[in-house]
Amino acid sequence: MKLRDISATFIVSSLLVAASATAATTKSIPVVAQIQGAAFFRTSVTISNANEAATTPVHMLLSYRSLVDNTFQTVTLDLSPALGPRRVVVFDDIIQAFKNAGRIRATDASANIFGTLLVTYDAIAEDAREEAAAVARTYSAGPAGGTIGLAYAGRCYCATGSRFRVLGASRGGVFGNDGSTRANLGIINEGNPQGQGSTDVRVQYYNGDTGQLLKQFFVSDIVHHNLEANEVFQINNVFNDPAIPSTVHTLVVQVEAATADFYASSYVVQLDNTTQDGSFFFLEEE
């Protein structure tokens, strides 16, 4: 992981507000969703301001690829009123909040949405970014009541992604004596140093037992386009890939942007095949 140039980072924020480059901090949430499949998946977002004195305007930027016409969409929504000191705002369904505010275009209003969210705090500076927090939880209804979900914290956008390798592991198959698991792999283009631009992303799978390269491919081989800045693409159940023998139950995954000086990041969601319980973690960034 390489820290971006701080002044360059907030060029992204200028898409939302005309803020000073050093007078704001942005948190990056890698996945927000509203998807009706076998279950109804939604993402809740908790936004907090831990500063003891400052009230801060908060601006949200949702980026997603339309499942209706395959166009890339970016839409904004501001908190109203601004977030006071030591205050918290919770959205049980952040996508629905954008829809209710009329920010999602009519074409996508009834479609599944899967994207990323940037949350910018105008009055919290980079050197105090721990005062700003944005935590997401993607969840669905549980079979016996309640919900099943997984939570993950937004990271400072100034430090997300790597211009080099992004590395980690995943597993599939039997989990001890208690069941079996599968793994989903998420891939994000974090943009160039200014947080802009499109790039392809190279992915490599290595056998976790032998180190053998099993498969190398580009995201564009699957989706037939480059990823735009702040676009996420997820590969579900990576061990179902024909290139991975059924005897292989662990992988080392390597992800890297195909364009020089672009940042990529990646995550794995490890899911229980019976309960659908999930665990989320980022891959390591070089």
3-state secondary structure of 201: strand
Say whether domain 166-285 belongs to CATH 2.60.120: no
Dist CA 138 CA 41 (whole Å): 7
Q: Which of 79-93, 104-118, 174-188, 206-220 has the lowest mean pLDDT?
A: 174-188
- Would you state the pLDDT for residue 101? 97
Measured CA to CA in angstroms, residue 275 lies from 76, 149, 258 at distances of 35, 11, 37
- Would you state the pLDDT for residue 63? 98
Q: Which residues pair with 174 in a beta bridge?
A: 180
- Would you state the pLDDT for residue 96? 98
Dist CA 140 CA 187 (whole Å): 22
Digit-coded pLDDT (tens) for 101-158: 999 999 999 999 999 999 999 999 988 999 999 999 999 998 889 999 999 999 999 9
- Would you state the pLDDT for residue 4? 59
Q: Provide the token pair at 60.
A: 């949200």
**b/e per residue 172-196 (b: at least 16 CB within 10 A):** beeeeeeeebbbbbbbbbbbbbbbe
Dist CA 235 CA 233 (whole Å): 7
Q: Which of 19-33, 101-115, 126-140, 221-235 has the lowest mean pLDDT?
A: 19-33
List every span in the chain annotated with CATH 2.60.290: 166-285
pLDDT band per the 50, 70, 90 thresholds, residue 179: confident
- Would you state the pLDDT for residue 20? 40
- Would you state the pLDDT for residue 274? 85
Average pLDDT, the chain: 92
Q: Which residue has the higher pLDDT, 264 or 273?
A: 264
Digit-coded pLDDT (tens) for 54-89: 999 999 999 999 999 999 999 999 999 999 999 999
Measured CA to CA in angstroms, residue 167 lies from 113, 147, 199 at distances of 27, 31, 19
